[in-house]
Structure 1
Amino acid sequence: MSFFKRLFKGTDEKIPETKDRTLQNLRVGDFVTYDLADYEVAGKIHYNDGGYTWDAYQLSGNGKTLWLSVELDDELGVGIYEKIRIPGLEPGAKKVTHDGRTYYLDEEGRAYVKSEGRSENVHGKNVDYYDYADDLEEHFLSVEVWGGDVEVSYGYEIEEYEVTILAGS
């Protein structure tokens, strides 16, 4: 037995392993940098629509909240979204106009969600969702109906390399 083990009565402090973080395995408590600003991953929502899954991470920092959307279809799709208000919006409408741009219904469905962190209040619920894209598919609207509450977010695609990750645990 070494001198230090005898001195400290053989207690070995175990250092927890941290798996390399990617956009597909972020955890609540991790930190990310995007567009020269730092954010904490404050919540996570995992969506499942009949086996098709994607994640949304609630990012908190600089006095605002963003959502980082990550989905793996044929390739990894990453987007940044921010909640907005569109008075009178009818979820499921074939087209929506916002801020001088017209968006067309691209996809809709119902997903079961698992969530954690600040988003934990929706854990185990179903959400109806309606995804809209503009003509060039550069700008997007995400409409989610939680019971009677309608939430709308404006977003755009980003590249994976634009996000830097620092594991928090």
Structure 2
Amino acid sequence: MSRRKKTLTEEDRILWSRVARSAVPLKGRAHPEEPEALAVFDPKGLAEEAENFFIGPLESASPQPAAKKKEQVVRKLDEPTRSKLAKGRLEITGRIDLHGLTQDEAYGLLLAFLHRAFASGQRYVLVITGKGSSGEGVLRRAVPKWFSTPPFRGLVGSFEDAARHHGGHGAMYVRLRKRDLT
């Protein structure tokens, strides 16, 4: 048997640096630096940052209304696509974890995340809401309702509960709309 060299993902490196910063370093050593790439997803203080995100560049990244004025409807994800996402045949290009956030914080953070994902051309993302203490978490119920509101409708094409290994009923696969590049 050969051993593969394991490399940490960017999320794992950030998580590890946070854990390492909570420990007392050995004499003569300093705390490790936290990578900047995903530091945006730190839940504390993100509500203000999400609000500031909407000033300026957001307008250029927002989807343009359709020429036909067709009503945009958010639907359930079709079964073949959900199956491909669950089996790993379609790549989930982004994920956000909303555990422990209030509805206001989660709303702003989720909207900012989806705008960034849409602007960068991502197609499938994973939104982790958690199941809540009794199986009916507040965010688990609220996020699907948010998707049908105007700020989200131009971004989200469809969504569905995730497969068990991606979080099951505490997470959702979200298909973002295609960007109109004209």
Larger strand share, 1 or 2:
1
TM-score, length-normalised on structure 1? Answer: 0.30
Q: Which of 1 and 2 has greater Rg?
A: 1
Larger helix share, 1 or 2:
2
